[in-house]
Amino acid sequence: MPIRFRKSIKLAPGIRMNFSSKGASWTIGPRGASLGIGQRGTYLNTGIAGFSSRQKLAGSRGNHNHGSNTKVSIAITVEVNDLGEILFKDENGILLTEDVIKVAKKQNGDVIRELIQRKCDQINSQVEALSEIHLYTPESTRIPSYEPLQYGESQPVKPLPIKPNFFNRWFKKTIARIEAQNAKTQLKYEDDLSKWTSDRLEFDTAQRNKQDLIAKVIQGDTLSMEIFLEEVLQDIVWPRETTLSFDILEEGKKVVVDVDLPEIEDMPDKVASVPQRGYRLSVKEISATQVQKNYMRHVHAVGFRIIGEIFAALPTVNLVLLSGYSQRASIRTGEIEDEYLYSVKVRREEWGRIQFANLTHIEVGESLSQFELKRSMSKTGVFKAIKPIEE
């Protein structure tokens, strides 16, 4: 079971990886599209990005609505879901007829194909992001520093008072109106100046505090190190929610980390491709073995990235002990339990041998094996529970 640490943080997925489960969508209208129903048949009128056209959908309805030319405004929405299904709906979510769909494809084929390609990239990027998080690990040789930023908002300009001209300066009501306007303008200026001054003071104070925080981090102040490390880890775009707990020990020389890794059930299990012809998205299941390998790569990449971020952010740290665990069904009782998957102890001088300019050539699971590593794993990435390395 994971031990209790002094500091625990939850690393939520970043916006760039936060994909909607409802699928991508594209809407025409409602002003961009309308149906015209008249004696000569049904037409779809569309206008997108400055272009408009009119396409006949159906033949004459005989004498029905003879002589009329009624238009009903609708919104046409094209959705591509995670299964690769492309759905054409009206504003009420009702599927459109093949006639309308055919016209939408004919008139806006490029837009629809772009939507399909975006959905394809979205599905595939989820797989790629999970295995590539370690590629952005910073080098640990640079001492962290911070140059305070300058406040970007310009100071409000004091307004020039309105002066009465030669003719209206003899009219008391006009002069009173001008004076009231000047007073109102001056009051707004004073309010704007007061807010600008307050905001700038708050900004400058935050900048100085950030600079002071990093100076204390370099000196090995453990409380400042905790605050700064949490900020660094929270700024990372995590593809899956990841929770970790850590302690900074031995006067800032050692960090012990426990990482609650994502579950294998959370791994994406589909890849997509766009055929050259037609309006289709081909979505295929990833084999169970490949999902397991992707999971293996991801959980090691998470550990690799965290270790690298610690060494880069905290220059006094000489050793990181990181252990990753997951919630899995016990083979003895079937109950969900926390089981450690791997535990690794890394010293700074050992970590410095990694060529961070060539991280794309590193097999991240093998990279961690060059350090003191405790792990029981098959070649295909099936983990057995282990007991983590003692502090």
For the chain, the domain total comes to 2
Q: Specify whether 111 is located in the same domain as 258.
A: no
Q: Specify whether 244 is located in the same domain as 97.
A: no
Q: Specify whether 248 is located in the same domain as 306.
A: yes
- Out of 9-13, 185-189, 268-272, 302-306, which region has the weakest mean confidence (pLDDT)? 9-13
Q: Specify whether 110 is located in the same domain as 183.
A: no
Q: What is the mean pLDDT of residues 299-316?
A: 96
pLDDT tens per residue, range 199-258: 999 999 999 999 999 999 999 999 999 999 999 998 888 887 888 899 999 999 999 999
Domain extent at residue 347:
1-18+133-391
Q: Between residues 81 and 138, which one has the greater pLDDT?
A: 138
Q: Specify whether 242 is located in the same domain as 316.
A: yes
Q: Between residues 362 and 170, which one has the greater pLDDT?
A: 362
Q: Specify whether 10 is located in the same domain as 118.
A: no
Beta bridge pairs of residue 374: 343
Q: What is the DSSP string of 287-343?
A: PHHHHHHHHHHHHHHHHHHHHHHHHHH-TT--EEEEEEEEEEE-TTT--EEEEEEEE
Number of other CB atoms surrounding residue 319 within 10 Å: 18
pLDDT tens per residue, range 2-34: 444 666 677 766 433 222 333 333 433 333 334
Give the pLDDT score at 51. Answer: 36
Q: Output the CA torsion 17→7→336→346 (10° steps).
A: 80
Q: Specify whether 330 is located in the same domain as 317.
A: yes
pLDDT band at 166 (very low <50, low <70, confident <90, very high): low
CA angle 309, 125, 326 (to 5 degrees): 55
Domain final residue pick, 80, 110, 131: 131
Give the pLDDT score at 12. Answer: 63
**Is the predicted pLDDT of residue 172 greater than 80, yes or no?**
no
Note whether 292 and 382 are within 8 A (CB): yes
What does the block give as tokens for 177? 């109106």
Beta bridge pairs of residue 47: 52
Query: Pick from 187, 222, 196, 291: which is nearest to 7 by CA?
Result: 222
Handedness of CA 85, 91, 93, 96 (dihedral sign): negative
pTM of the model: 0.72
Q: Between residues 125 and 341, which one has the greater pLDDT?
A: 341
pLDDT tens per residue, range 37-50: 344 444 444 443 33
Q: Specify whether 148 is located in the same domain as 274.
A: yes
Q: What is the mean pLDDT of residues 129-141?
A: 90
Give the pLDDT score at 27. Answer: 37
d(CA 210, CA 204): 10
pLDDT band at 169 (very low <50, low <70, confident <90, very high): low
Distance of CA 131 to the CA centre of its chain: 16
Q: What is the mean pLDDT of residues 170-180?
A: 82
Q: Specify whether 147 is located in the same domain as 33.
A: no
Domain final residue pick, 113, 131, 149: 131
- Nearest-10 crossing angle of helices 98-107, 109-132: 80
What does the block give as tokens for 289? 């073995």
**Is the predicted pLDDT of residue 342 greater than 70, yes or no?**
yes
Can you tell me which residue has the tokens 């009051």? 187
- Percent of the chain residues past pLDDT 90, beyond the cut: 47
Q: Specify whether 75 is located in the same domain as 196.
A: no
Q: What share of the chain is helix, strand, coil (3-state, %, to 5)?
A: 40, 25, 35
d(CA 196, CA 152): 11
Q: Specify whether 5 is located in the same domain as 39.
A: no
- Contacts with 215 (C-beta within 8 Å, 6 or more apart), sequence order: none
Domain final residue pick, 109, 131, 153: 131
Q: Specify whether 258 is located in the same domain as 127.
A: no
